[in-house]
Structure 1
């Protein structure tokens, strides 16, 4: 299981990271460790990859299945409460993006997750994405 946090600023932009290992743009996140709760994993992953501490609770905006790795990913809309965006061991670059920019930077499966989070203000309902392979 993995978690990802879509940090949204006052201008309704989302913070994406460019991963060092594959160069892809996506929301910060990663695998939940066995001893962690979901909120702990979300806070840890976002802080490690962005330098930003997020407020809890965060709003669940989607549940996605990676068909290749058979991983279920929980995506949350997050609010920054401390820190400044900074790169780290896993992060090559960071960028605040608008709705329009998300699809040009991120792979389709990650763009859908970010757009769902930008659209969400309440806990997630099940969404169907016709024709989109959610990986």
Structure 2
């Protein structure tokens, strides 16, 4: 079977010196209870900046502007529905928004705006998903 490659895009949003993270719901099959950067999979024939705007709106209720590429991380996983092995490339973008009032989706249990020091503490304690930790470490 051929290797599947997936593309995801995530956005690091800074507002008043704090960064937005979402807590993955406790019933999730992957990384339950860990914190992640908002974003998700790019659909077929979708530009990745539009995918990020769509995912941000779905997950946070925020409308964003995509500024620049910050990082690229890779995460390999097994797809829940098909049991296929997927190699995922995640583009980590810097994004901006005009508000810090977040409305989370059912994918998440909580959200927070954290200082860089708080984010680094969370990384040390293993509270972030591996891609989120890697995105902030570079």
**Do they superpose with TM above 0.5?**
yes
**Partners of 1:71 and 1:107 in 2: how far apart?**
14
Q: Choose 1 or 2 for highest CA Rg.
A: 2
CA distance in 2, matches of 1:16, 1:80: 14
Structure 1 residues 1-135: aligned runs within 5 Å = 1-11=7-17, 13-20=18-25, 21=28, 22-56=32-66, 58-68=67-77, 69-81=86-98, 84-103=101-120, 104=122, 105-116=127-138
TM-score by length of 2: 0.74
Query: In the TM superposition, what is the alpha-carbon distance from 1:67 to its structure 2 partner?
Result: 3.3
Q: Secondary structure at the match of 1:46?
A: helix
Aligned length: 114
Structure 1 residue ranges, 4+ long, deviating more than 3 angstroms after superposition: none
Q: What's the TM-score once normalised by structure 1's chain length?
A: 0.75
Indicate if the aligned counterparts of 1:6 and 1:77 stay in contact, CA closer than 8 A.
yes
Structure 1 residue runs without a partner (length 5+):
117-135
